Structure 1
Amino acid sequence: MKKLAIIIPYYKIDFFEETIKSVAVQNNRNFVLYIGNDASPDNPLPIIEKYASDFSYHYFDYTENLGGKNLALQWERILDNVQEEWFQILGDDDVIADNFVEEFYKKLPYIEEKSASVVKFSHQWIDEDNQLIKDFEYPFSEITPQDFFLQKYHDEIKSSLSENIFKMAIYKKHKFEKLPLAWGSDDLAILAFANKHNIIYIKDTKVKVRISTKSISGSNNYDELKEKALHQMKSIIITKYSNFFSFDFINKIINQYIYQSYQKGFSFYYPVIFYYLKHLKFTAFLKALKKTYYIYKKNA
């Protein structure tokens, strides 16, 4: 039985052939491929049929572009069709090593023994010419979701969506947060989908993540939206996941959130300050309440 789904949310054709080829040459074919065309102007079918004719795949040709509204909506639209127990969302310009599926199945008994629901893989950044920009490999074999998030937040580790495999049953309980550009949605997903169990880290294969001017990660055109997404992510951490972290960390996040709301005019979600009341920090709450008054006055 095939337990793994590889999902490609397709829109850009520029590097798509390399992506689909990397899936087609897997040593272990024990997976099902799902490709969702997000109303792209470029027809991917000739490339798909060239490489995917001899293994299981499903192709969805959507007429409505959802990725332009929010990338996570496009991911979830494809995921609604997935029956397998585990899934990877592979960017349409990213590449997996030929032993990617093989290494997942090798590790699967241990993953299940540990009740893990997030599996992370070693990854590299590559450019438009497939040249290596940087190789990332970390010393841990497991990491708690809290430590992962803290290290990512403090830029001590790098992470993106493609180098993860998630358990479908846990995803269905949480879904993806709909942040602008889905920037940070993967980090919140890892935190939530881990379900308070350790994340398993596999080093014996690679996911190559493409950093180019055509990608959100590599382009400077989206900097303001990225900043707004990270601002919104802070409010979600404070209101939904604060019990994962220390008071000092959440206090720091609240102060950053209030400062950015005031200085940059970003939206302010008032329930963030009620964190202080829950922890009986009345003085901190009153100080935060005073600051929210100035935010309201400035943005009115």
Structure 2
Amino acid sequence: MNKLAIVIPYYKLDFFEETLKSVAAQTDRNFTLYIGNDASPDDPLPLIQKHFSDNEFKYYHYSKNVGGTNLALQWERILENVTEEWFQILGDDDVISANFVEEFYTHLNQIEKNKINVIKFSQALMDGHSIILTSYTHLKTITHYRDIWTDIFSKRERSSLSENIFRTSEYKKYKFKKYPLAWYSDDMAILEISNFKNIFFIETAQVQVRIFEKSISGMTDDEVYNKKKEWARLYFYEDILKKFKLLPKKDIEPLLKFYLSICWNLRESKIINLIPLYFHIGKPLKILTIPYKILLLNRNK
């Protein structure tokens, strides 16, 4: 039985064939391909059947669109069918290198030996013309979640869903947070599914993530989308702060300040309990400032 599922939540036809070609080009065919059609107006079956025979993929056509409400709902809907031990969610406009599956199996014994639940591959961004826009990411082979967290928060390093492979059994314990636009949902999944421990990085295979005008990442001038991204950031940081004992102490106060600034910008006055946070970082006197902070946030409504 294959140990790896490649899951493609399909909606956009624009670059879908490029995605399919990259999967069809795999040097190791020991994977199961799942494709879920989120009630797209464009039928993908002709393209799928062009590159795969009927016994090489599992196709699900859903009559109701849920990705428009939250992309994580679409991901989870397809994942209900997955029986493999590991899965990748590959964007319908992203591509993987031909040795992606091969390198997964090459390192699998080491991954299992170290009891790791999340695998990350080297990633670069590309545009609508398939021109690479960035360098490829680099991490240590075994990277602690604190370094991943530092990349997300302090360095603001880029991250995408497609570059990760998750252990299915651990995913089922947490699933995906339903943040607006599923923005930061993959980041929280990395932290939770890894159990806030190590992830395994593979540099010898790559994922190329497409940024163009129809992708959420590419909609940088859309005010509605930008507002939703800010709400997602707020909820993500709020959930992280609730797990403050797992965070590096040096990051907690800067994160808290940033969290409160987002609350201010979004006119959100309901904030998490700050008392245990201030005790944890050794600044109990800061508790006296909490009523003033809440007063300011309420005045900002």
Aligned residues: 297
Cα distance 1:268–1:93, how it changes in 2: closer, same or farther (>3 A)? farther
SS at match of 2:272: helix
SS at match of 2:134: strand
Match of 1:262 in 2: 264
Q: Of 235, 238, 241, which aligns to 1:235?
A: 238
Q: Of 223, 243, 260, which aligns to 2:226?
A: 223
Match of 2:272 in 1: 271
- Which stretch shows the higher mean deviation, 247-256 or 183-192? 247-256
- The one-letter code sitting in structure 1 at the alignment partner of 2:169 is A
Match of 2:298 in 1: 296
1:247, CA displacement in angstroms? 3.2
Deviations 1:54-82 (A, max 9, x none): 65311111111111111111111111111
Q: Of 238, 249, 252, which aligns to 1:250?
A: 252
Calculate the aligned-residue CA RMSD, in Å.
1.7
- The one-letter code sitting in structure 2 at the alignment partner of 1:147 is D
- The one-letter code sitting in structure 1 at the alignment partner of 2:210 is R
SS at match of 1:136: coil
Spell out the pairing of 1:78-157 with structure 2 (5 A cutoff): 78-155=78-155, 157=157
Please say if residues 125 and 133 of structure 1, whose CA atoms lie closer than 8 Å, have aligned partners that are also in contact.
yes
1:66 aligns with 2:69: no
Spell out the pairing of 1:152-231 with structure 2 (5 A cutoff): 152-155=152-155, 157-220=157-220, 221=222, 222-231=225-234
User: What is the distance in 2 between the residues matched to 1:243 and 1:206?
Assistant: 34
TM-score normalised by structure 1 residue count: 0.94
Match of 1:50 in 2: 50
- The one-letter code sitting in structure 2 at the alignment partner of 1:18 is E
- The one-letter code sitting in structure 2 at the alignment partner of 1:179 is Y
Please say if residues 121 and 207 of structure 1, whose CA atoms lie closer than 8 Å, have aligned partners that are also in contact.
yes
1:277, CA displacement in angstroms? 6.2
Please say if residues 254 and 272 of structure 1, whose CA atoms lie closer than 8 Å, have aligned partners that are also in contact.
no
1:34 aligns with 2:34: yes
1:159, CA displacement in angstroms? 1.5
User: What is the distance in 2 between the residues matched to 1:14 and 1:124?
Assistant: 19
Cα distance 1:250–1:93, how it changes in 2: closer, same or farther (>3 A)? same
Structure 2 unaligned blocks of 5 or more: none
Deviations 1:171-194 (A, max 9, x none): 011111111111111111111111
1:260, CA displacement in angstroms? 2.3
Please say if residues 146 and 248 of structure 2, whose CA atoms lie closer than 8 Å, have aligned partners that are also in contact.
no
SS at match of 1:66: coil
User: What is the distance in 2 between the residues matched to 1:67 and 1:161?
Assistant: 15
User: What is the distance in 1 between the residues matched to 2:278 and 2:98?
Assistant: 52
Give the % identical residues. Answer: 45
Please say if residues 126 and 134 of structure 2, whose CA atoms lie closer than 8 Å, have aligned partners that are also in contact.
yes
Deviations 1:178-222 (A, max 9, x none): 111111111111111112331111011111110111111122222
Please say if residues 264 and 300 of structure 2, whose CA atoms lie closer than 8 Å, have aligned partners that are also in contact.
yes
User: What is the distance in 1 between the residues matched to 2:97 and 2:47?
Assistant: 19
TM-score normalised by structure 2 residue count: 0.93
Please say if residues 9 and 36 of structure 2, whose CA atoms lie closer than 8 Å, have aligned partners that are also in contact.
yes
User: What is the distance in 2 between the residues matched to 1:55 and 1:275?
Assistant: 55
Deviations 1:213-271 (A, max 9, x none): 111112222222212211221111111x2122133422222222222212331x34433
User: What is the distance in 2 between the residues matched to 1:43 and 1:247?
Assistant: 50
User: What is the distance in 2 between the residues matched to 1:51 and 1:275?
Assistant: 56
